[in-house]
Amino acid sequence: MNSLKQSVVMVWLCVLGAIISVQQSDASELSIEAHTLITDTGTEVEAEWGEFSVPLYHDDPSRGSITLSFIRFPSTSDEPGEPLVYLAGGPGGVGSNFAAGRRHPLFMALREVGDVIAFNQRGTGPTSTLPDCQYPQNYEGGIVATYEVFIEYYHQMALYCNEVWADLGAEIGAYNTWESAGDLEALRQVLGAQKLNLWGISYGTHLALAALKRDPSSYERVVLVSPEGLEQTVKMPEYSDRYFERVQAMIDSDPALSPVYGGFLSTLRSVMDDLRQNPVTVTINSNQGEPIEMTFDEFPVQALISFAFVSDPQNLGPLLQLTAAMGQGVYEPIAGIIYNNFIGPSLAGDLTLDGMPTAMDAASGISASRLAEFNAQAENALIGRAQNYPFPALFDSVDVPDLGESFRSPFETDVPTLVFTGTLDGRTFPEAHAEVMSNFSNVEQVTVINGGHNLFMIDPRVSEIIVDFFKGNGVQTSEITVPAPAFN
């Protein structure tokens, strides 16, 4: 073992002891205690904190167990229905944190239906013992930023972290969506509920779908906001292209925007083509404030777009401005952002491979046929292979078993389901949502015109529809229109 890795392992010895002690606990014990939640606005809300243990591997309880946690808000109804369990996105979102944030009013409103539970998925929350892995090696590509250099760096980081997790005894392979779906069934059992209601967003819907597939009779109603199908961990490049076409259509329809950004999409395509053929070298300031030269092609620009600008339309303003600058040959502004987000942290040895999200995505994987389709589309797509960076290139580097085609294959369900789709969702895409719904026989969809990926609190009508749906009422509208962003 090299000295750098040994130092990391020594830091986590106490965590390893905690893992061992948790694995020896009983696998169905539930503890509930009073809990005061303090929201982001400072409001104190009385709730309950719950913890229970589940097997690391539900099919083989002898391999140890882990402790999961949740916050429960008791129902305000005289005749409460089945519990409503919130599934955070990410993967890696901490459910109990969202209960204190912008979505808090929806948690409170749903108490009209039943107990509301902010669930912390395995690998998240204060009871998690799965460590993240800080990679202490400097970025050896210097300040040359290309796809090949980026992926090789992440490949080496993954190999390093595989060894760190193995030396710590952390069962990284147990952190997959199928086992997490088993956790939801265990939650239902320890709560003594006949069924659960699920509501989630993005990766949380990926988990909800796995739960429906694994235990189809355990769920009463499901709300999927910006869904991600079981075969959709890797997003398809052609859907991203259609997203940018919708963005351009929104710009063209706005008299204030079209004179300024009417050429946005054509300029962005031209910039990507130029960078692909002729990488640029610009001078920027380093972490130490010294001028340095950085050379990059189209890939770090694509990665930055996917990382920072496309989830919701209100984030597009800086991209429109940066694209206009690049169209004029001014690359310093975007180069500085690339350096601050990708190059600077890695040069300082500050990059971390997060255990839970890395393992979950790696396990969900991609089929060979879909990967071939992805690679073919990526050749000419606007943001190429960057939508899912560092996957799919990193799938074979992370030491987590692929869940396989039995996990990813389509399944049918008649569980009443409500799907919310934003027309300007640049993360999971309306076309992909249609794929998810194709196997539901009892599904309703609400389209949010001008809405992005994060739809829960975008308009009061969204919350009203969700509450009404969980009450068992029909959905009265199939479309909501929200204002387009102004970008001024």
Mean pLDDT to the nearest integer, 105-131: 97
Whether 412 and 443 have beta carbons less than 8 Å apart is answered as: no
In the chain, CATH 3.40.50.1820 covers 25-129+177-230+409-481
pLDDT, tens digit (0-9, with 9 covering 90-100), for 23-76: 333 446 899 999 999 999 999 999 999 999 999 999 999 999 999 999 999 999
Distances (CA, A) of 417 to 194, 214, 337, 435: 18, 16, 40, 14
Mean pLDDT to the nearest integer, 383-399: 93
Whether 66 and 56 have beta carbons less than 8 Å apart is answered as: yes
pLDDT value, residue 27 = 44
pLDDT value, residue 34 = 97
Q: Which helix (H) or strand (E) holds 201?
A: strand 196-202
pLDDT value, residue 21 = 34
pLDDT, tens digit (0-9, with 9 covering 90-100), for 404-455: 999 999 999 999 999 999 999 999 999 999 999 998 999 999 999 999 999 9
pLDDT value, residue 64 = 94
Taking 60 as the threshold, does the pLDDT of residue 321 lie above it?
A: yes
pLDDT, tens digit (0-9, with 9 covering 90-100), for 184-212: 999 999 999 999 999 999 999 999 999 99
Distance between CA atoms of residues 70 and 51, nearest Å? 7
- Which has the higher per-residue pLDDT, 363 or 134? 363
Distance between CA atoms of residues 360 and 23, nearest Å? 20
| Residue 339 CB contacts under 8 Å (≥ 6 apart), including other chains | 143, 284, 286, 294
Distance between CA atoms of residues 143 and 295, nearest Å? 6
What is the total residue count of the chain? 488
Tally of CA atoms within 13 A in the half-sphere of 56 that contains its CB: 19
- Residue bearing tokens 């995505």: 361
Q: Average model confidence (pLDDT) for the chain?
A: 91
Secondary structure of residue 53 in the 3-state scheme: strand
Q: Which helix (H) or strand (E) holds 118?
A: strand 116-120
pLDDT value, residue 24 = 34
- Which has the higher per-residue pLDDT, 4 or 377? 377
Taking 80 as the threshold, does the pLDDT of residue 2 lie above it?
A: no
Taking 90 as the threshold, does the pLDDT of residue 100 lie above it?
A: yes
pLDDT-derived band at 86, boundaries 50, 70, 90: very high
The CATH number of 25-129+177-230+409-481 is: 3.40.50.1820
Mean pLDDT to the nearest integer, 232-238: 97
